[in-house]
Structure 1
């Protein structure tokens, strides 16, 4: 399954106007060093209920069952992002982005495969890069003082009983 999302990035620092660019990117690219998502304080807090999160999971499951024949369109994410800078304010799409981050963190915490755990952790937390130089940080930071405190190390969540 190829999962894609359209990322609309509004960029530029000119007072007279802004450049707007849209591009379709894979989910793997969305959760990469190219994006440092920040939820501006003026955005509403995370508000999805079980119903919306469940629908996203059902959509993902159906896309997995279809295979690679047709890509799964995750939806649009609207960002304010300067060129060549990973910092991106999320204007639209934060509910999906947050839900996917929670899902990836949950899968990371539940897997017993150390290699898979490491790969999933890199999607949730930027591991850093001394050459670029990037420090470790969460891929998505939210609103308020707690969100600015940084990422917590991966916990060892107990595996849920299998039915």
Structure 2
């Protein structure tokens, strides 16, 4: 656990101006020092506090636990094509056997056969399945992925990100993390 996500680091949840987290996975967190700097620069509003305070000779301030940006940051509509986002799209599991360890990615149409490194040709695979499939197509190898590859939306990645909460969630954050999920009737 690093200082940003451990309780002793006093991490601060950062919300957009509409009170939604800037990102879910990784969760949009700042250090308490960065949050206080943003308060003094008038870039954020403090939404909730910790019970802990910081002091200077002439000033005392409770540490913020949740801040919201004063200016709305328009979320990206197309997520970046990164290894991490491929793993997140595929829920950090091998699309051939379901394993969660030693993950890499596999090209359905191998690169040596003209396959591209794109959303539509890459799936998460464990090293063993990737080695077993080798330079074959899934049908040649007799290995069908559990989910065919696709370009996810930011919403899809946020939804998957909620399945993997960080090690530490302060109670003051809960009202802002899951407010846009469907409620049970």
- The two structures share one fold, judged by TM-score above 0.5: no
Give the alignment's TM-score, normalised by structure 1.
0.25
Give the alignment's TM-score, normalised by structure 2.
0.23
Higher strand share: 1
Name which structure has the greater RCO, CA cutoff 8 Å, separation 6+.
1
Higher helix share: 1
